Chains A and B, each alone.
Chain A
Amino acid sequence: MTGKLGGLPGLYSVVMRTAVQTQFQYRTANYAYLLGMIAEPVIYLVVWQTVAGSQGGAVEGITAGQFAAYYIVWTLVRNMNIVFTPYGWEDRIRNGLLSGMLVRPVHPIHYDLAFFAGWKFVAIVLWLPIAAVLVLIFRPTFDVNALEVGVFLIAIWGAYLLRSLLLWALGMVTFWTTRVSALYELYFTAELLLSGRLLPLALLPGWAATVSDVLPFKYTFGYPIEVLAGDLSTTELFIGLGLQAVWIGAGVLLVALVWRVGVRRYSAVGN
């Protein structure tokens, strides 16, 4: 018997509760953060609705209402894929916090996954009224069935897990050098264009759409958004989910590999 919940489920339960407590202490800061975050899709939305209006009501077949649906779902997906960023790694290594984590009998990625998962619940509660206001202002067009809602609920957690793994792997570059901001910026720029964050992937030029198809970014943004706001067939829904799972598997392997080599280096050179 190991407490209420043993092992990793027990740890996730405690850390998620801790995250909720911590974040509720910073309600105002969280609201300010959310409002700041909402500004980004609202700008994109206003631009695309204006373009749609000037082109007879649609851009490449996407109407103003569909743009509104896309960017309002965007706000929820963005909340879901906020994860421990590579910038946190620099702080962790410089302040010796990583050493404290390394002498504990659990892989540190579990703290981050659990903590940010807990944070989501606070963020979603705070997001609901903002989403309601956005719906009233921008009048989105939704055509959603139960299957899409079900796939969406899985896909947003998949997006969270995948983005966590990718940014964890990137953050671990800090094991080798602490000046890696330029590398992070490169990642975020590529992600902005190729994930569906800046614009729906259907609007990408051909070459960029091809590149986007062979990279994992779209499974952290565009795919989950389109599950709910787009017009994917049942086959496309499940293929997307399957490919997201494949990328998560690849992410797990990548993190395991980089962690192994990185920790060996960290423990060789010290801190």
Chain B
Amino acid sequence: MPEPTPVDIRVRELRKTFRVPEREAGLRASIRSLVRRSYRDVDAVAGVSFDIEAGDVVGFLGPNGAGKTTTLKMLSGLLHPTGGEISVLGHVPARREHDYLRRMTLVMGNRNQLQWDIPALDSFEMNRAIYRIPEADFRRIRDEIVELLEIGELVRKPVRTLSLGERMKAEIAAALLHRPQVLYLDEPTIGLDVTMQKRIRSFLADYNQRYGATVLLTSHYMADVQALCKRVIIIDSGSILYDGALRDLSTRYSPHQTINVVLAEPADLSAYGEVLDSVDGRITLKVAKADTSAVAARLLAAFGVSDLTIEDPPIEDVIEQVFAGSAPNDPTRAADRVAR
């Protein structure tokens, strides 16, 4: 029997409640609040449980205010949970033991690790001292990361002169010099252009493979998630809506696929599925997933087909459906409609 993969992150019934002051707008309410303040309890995280195995890359998704960053802050030890338990690499993060902090990293925004006025290389040197990285190891890891991220030139310039994307790459490099086992990445590609996003994605994938690091990543860019994460946890209003394989997400929440077909002669295909688009002879049909193969076969048999492709719906649409709280549609009903 194969050895079970060790669990790096274990979270049970995690809760975080913030007490937020609130008052009506206007002078009268302002004066009243001097005497009597009213507060409201906000459950930012409301009983979340999951395990992440060593070496996994998990996407942590949700709309703004869903509780993603609060959870990451609790995992990294920045916030004390209101309730529940967390264990990461055998440590309780809220205790912020140095042994734990040396084994993890948190990348949040792009002004954490680097000193503004000096080149990133000098900040790297500071991290060497903070994390007590042996000199030889430090040079090797630093050179490796600098090469992988292709930042050889820019780490010699004062950080304040770098662009947003360049700074983000240098931040990530600084955050990984001590070769952490657990990475919490909060929107690591936010605000970056497509090329820069791709570079960071491939770097993170490479880092994960090379060192077997465990990664929990939040991102609003589905391209990040699709490139890096086999598993996603979707959270909204502090509760988990979905925790499972990314590939199962569309099966569960979107029972449709699209068939793009280019016909030799124009034809009406509305009997085969819902026609979403028809431009220059290219027709897009929405078809129940269970019937995709059969419909494709019928199209090929009935028409002169120059091209035919089958696609899953965009992951953004699927996730939107998860957030919309829509129950998974019944695929048989959808199939009925196509056959009608």
A residues at B contact (CB < 8 Å): 1-7, 10-11, 13-15, 18, 21-22, 25-26, 95-97, 99-100, 102-106, 264, 267-271
CB of B46 within 8 A of chain A? Answer: no
Find B132's partner among A6, A100, A264 (CB 8 Å cutoff).
Answer: A6
With A21-B118, A270-B18 known as contacts, the answer to whether A102 contacts B77 (CB < 8 A) is: yes
Q: Which range holds the interface residue count of chain B? A: 35 or more
Find A2's partner among B115, B118, B133 (CB 8 Å cutoff).
Answer: B133
Tell whether, in the assembled complex, residue B78 and residue A18 are in contact, meaning their CB atoms are under 8 Å apart: no
| B residues less than 8 Å from A14 (CB atoms) | 125-126, 128-129
| A residues less than 8 Å from B118 (CB atoms) | 18, 21-22, 25
What are the nearest 5 A-B pairs in CB distance? Answer: A100-B112, A105-B98, A105-B101, A11-B129, A3-B135
| A residues less than 8 Å from B98 (CB atoms) | 105-106
Between A10, A13, A100, the greatest number of chain B beta carbons within 10 A of the residue's beta carbon is seen for: A100
Q: In the complex, A99→B109 CA distance in Å? A: 11
Tell whether, in the assembled complex, residue B130 and residue A105 are in contact, meaning their CB atoms are under 8 Å apart: yes
| B residues less than 8 Å from A271 (CB atoms) | 78
Q: In the complex, A89→B190 CA distance in Å? A: 27
Tell whether, in the assembled complex, residue A106 and residue B135 are in contact, meaning their CB atoms are under 8 Å apart: no
With A99-B108, A100-B112 known as contacts, the answer to whether A105 contacts B135 (CB < 8 A) is: no
| B135 CB to nearest A CB, Å | 4
B residues at A contact (CB < 8 Å): 18-19, 70, 73, 76-80, 94, 96, 98-99, 101-102, 104-106, 108-109, 111-113, 115, 117-118, 122-123, 125-126, 128-135, 138, 158
Q: In the complex, A10→B73 CA distance in Å? A: 29
| B residues less than 8 Å from A22 (CB atoms) | 115, 117-118
Tell whether, in the assembled complex, residue B108 and residue A105 are in contact, meaning their CB atoms are under 8 Å apart: no
With A2-B134, A4-B135, A105-B101 known as contacts, the answer to whether A18 contacts B126 (CB < 8 A) is: yes
Find A104's partner among B109, B123, B130 (CB 8 Å cutoff).
Answer: B130
| B40 CB to nearest A CB, Å | 14
Tell whether, in the assembled complex, residue A1 and residue B134 are in contact, meaning their CB atoms are under 8 Å apart: yes
Q: In the complex, A106→B101 CA distance in Å? A: 9
| A residues less than 8 Å from B109 (CB atoms) | 96
| A26 CB to nearest B CB, Å | 8
| B232 CB to nearest A CB, Å | 24
Q: Which residue of A lies closest to B119 (CB)?
A: A21
For this complex, 27 residue pairs linking A to B, each with C-beta atoms less than 8 Å apart, are A2-B132, A2-B135, A5-B129, A7-B132, A11-B129, A13-B129, A18-B122, A18-B123, A21-B118, A22-B117, A22-B118, A95-B111, A96-B111, A97-B112, A99-B78, A99-B106, A99-B108, A100-B108, A102-B96, A103-B76, A103-B77, A103-B78, A103-B106, A104-B130, A105-B130, A106-B130, A267-B77
Tell whether, in the assembled complex, residue B108 and residue A270 are in contact, meaning their CB atoms are under 8 Å apart: no
